[in-house]
Structure 1
Amino acid sequence: MITIADIAKLSGVAKSTVSRYLNGGSVGEKTSKKIESVIKETGYTPNKFAQSLKAKKTNIIGTIVPRLDSFATSQTLIGMDDQLREQGYQLVISNSSQDLDREIENIYSLAKQKVAGIILLATEITERHIEAFDNIQVPIILVGQEHTDFHSVIHDDYQAAYELGQYILEKGHRRIAYLGVSERDIAVGVKRKAGFMKAVSEQPGCEVQYFETSFKIEDAIKNVPNIIKSFHPTIIACATDNIALGALKAANMEGLTVPDQLSITGFGGYDITKITFPGITTAKFFYKEAGHVAAMNIVKLVNEEQIEKTTLSKFKIMEQESVDKVIY
């Protein structure tokens, strides 16, 4: 691999001169042409990361994710990376593994690396987050969560849940189990539940029970049999597609046929919901497009341009085979 030292040796100049040239510093015209010629001949590509750390203004955008084994996360990152590359920025990813302490550490760590901005795929925003944002004074974009003091790109969780609830009611379901997550997660735990509750409140004669699990498929597999045995719902509305996948597995383990004996819905629109049998009806979010928007917005903030405080990402109800029509 060609290094700055090699370029300096071939150009007959000091390493510091090559470094100054690469960082846009003052270098004589004759020397500049010589260095430029050597770079072209060798095919040398500057280390953008190291280069940006020395510059006054970096081209690095830091992104903090709660987990790496998530369809939503991976699609959002793809959207971000595509857009940032188009605009001459690079993406650096820090994983918090759903550990709050590690997430806060990542905020400070990225700031020390002189990133131009930070995109946080947030599960919750605490006072510690706010303190960290205030301390580092780096442009911030939240994705997936909303806060009045910071710019964000959010999914329309409330409206998507409301419309999914209406869809379930239109199919005739009146004995409904809703399987959600902790309300520490405002988007998934609070807004989706609230939108769903609004829909069923508008339909007389509904019997709805609300249950809670984690985001993990295996926990849904453990919890769903108890819901089936204690409540006997005609449908389980799940707060994420992973929970819905766990519910589908649990129903099969209990000897129930989906959707003939139990219907299931999810949230997200993960690719795997199209290839399961039956395919899972879900509220599909457009994660890659949300990543595009987050990337465009953080670049605008870095360049001190004005943007809307909150940007809403689109959704659609994706009807597949996991919901049966109930006729009383």
Structure 2
Amino acid sequence: MSSTISDIAKIAGVAKSTVSRYLNGGSVGDKTRKKIEQAIKEAKYTPNPFAQSLKAKKTNIIGTIVPRLDSYASSQTLIGIDEQLKRLNYQMLISNTSQSLEREIESIYSFANQKMAGIILLATEITEQHIEAFEAVKVPVLLIGQEHPEIHSVIHDDFHAGYAMGHYILEKGYRDIAYLGVTERDIAVGVKRKHGFKKAMEEVQQDCHVHYYETEFNIPAAQAKAREIIHDHQPPIFVCATDNIALGVLKAAYAEGLSIPKDLAVTGFGGYEVTEIIHPSLTTAKFFYQEAGETAAKHIVELVNERSVEKLTISKFKIIERESVDINLKHGI
């Protein structure tokens, strides 16, 4: 069992408040200081750096707000943040909002009240309430995944990933395409990826027919929507705004007795580990979430220390070609 301040006070023969004052850098007499230091050695006491940091005027804790923990993108980003912060002698405190914007706003104020040195927000949407909170708390804030002209941001290259994916499937000969996206309230995933894809479609010379649909981020919703689309109009390919949506489409295809990629090709965005393990493996635009998290951690520490950081940083991506797209057949040419 670990020692406590009470144990130290008892051994040193002083009050708990005196031990606490010593541990927090307060003034104590030389004789008392030596007694406390000796007691600490005897009890093998290790101060709690988290508690000490909260009591200090300036903490070394970065509050990180995440919309959901059961997400590959979120978990990999958090790993990157945590590992980089540790290297910089900072700590991370996580608030999971379960995709509630109200809880997200509350977390911003809560972290500021707990004297966090800075706040990182894995954002899905930036509202006026967010901006008001950022301005009110007077704490350095950095966004991951979304951008705002007034806030430092680390984003994925959603537009060019969408554009590259569009050109990729056009090169494979697909011309009758179902694009399964998400709400445009999510600017990065719902707007930029789709707009990049649309730009690639506009550049094709031959006739190209694209039907745009929306679903939710989870697999069951994507599966239900995909089955509905397959029944109404069986396209030869689904381009999905996330890997989770693509997994839902794959489940729908199997339920309908379709062969991948012979009857139906599928692509995603994200590069989740599971997309390489499943069979057939998923063609996807891979984002480097852990590296983005590391960059965000470096930048928030720079901001905390009042050093200059570029307003917008764009993370890289890579198209990963796998088995879910038929690279040997030419469709619609």
Query: Structure 1 length normalisation: TM-score?
Result: 0.96
Instruction: For residue 34 of structure 1, report the CA deviation from its aligned partner.
Output: 4.0
- Measured against aligned partners, the alpha-carbon deviations of 1:34-70 in whole angstroms (never above 9, x if no partner) come to 4334334433222223222211001111111111110
Alignment map for 1:1-328 (pairs within 5 Å): 1-204=2-205, 205-325=207-327, 326-327=329-330, 328=333
For residues 135-178 of structure 1, the C-alpha deviation after alignment (integer angstroms, 9 at most, x for no partner) is 11111000000000000110010111111111111111111110
Bigger mean CA offset, 255-264 vs 24-33: 24-33
Flag structure 2 segments of 5+ consecutive residues without an equivalent.
Answer: none
Using the size of structure 2 for normalisation, the TM-score is: 0.95
Alpha-carbon distance between aligned partners in 1 of 2:151 and 2:293, rounded to the nearest angstrom:
17
Equivalences, count: 328
Q: Distance in 1 between matches of 2:38 and 2:316?
A: 49
8 Å Cα contact 2:142-2:153 kept in structure 1: yes
Secondary structure of 2:94 counterpart: strand
Question: Where in structure 1 are there 5+ consecutive unaligned residues?
Answer: none
Secondary structure, aligned partner of 1:61: strand
Structure 2 vs 1, CA of residues 172 and 305 (structure 1 numbering), >3 Å: closer, same or farther?
same
Q: Which amino acid in 1 is paired with 2:76? A: Q
Distance (Å, rounded) in 2 between the aligned partners of 1:41 and 1:71 = 45
Distance in 1, matches of 2:36 and 2:76, equals 40
Stretch moving more, 7-16 or 241-250: 7-16
Aligned residue for 2:309, secondary structure, equals: coil
Distance in 2 (alpha carbons) for counterparts of 1:91 and 1:306: 22
Residue 315 of structure 1 and its aligned partner are, at CA, apart by: 1.1
8 A contact 2:183–2:215 mirrored in 1: yes
CA 1:267–1:20: 2 relative to 1, 3 Å: same
Shift of residue 128 of structure 1?
Answer: 0.4
Give the aligned CA root-mean-square deviation in angstroms. Answer: 1.4
- Asked if 1 retains the 8 angstrom alpha-carbon contact of 2:7 and 2:43, the reply is no
Sequence identity of aligned pairs in percent? 67
In the TM superposition, what is the alpha-carbon distance from 1:33 to its structure 2 partner?
4.3
**Does structure 1 retain, via aligned residues, the 8 Å contact 2:159–2:195?**
yes
* Residue identity matched to 1:258: I
Matched position secondary structure for 1:300: helix
Aligned counterparts of 1:240 and 1:311: Cα–Cα separation in 2: 21
SS, match of residue 265 in structure 1? strand
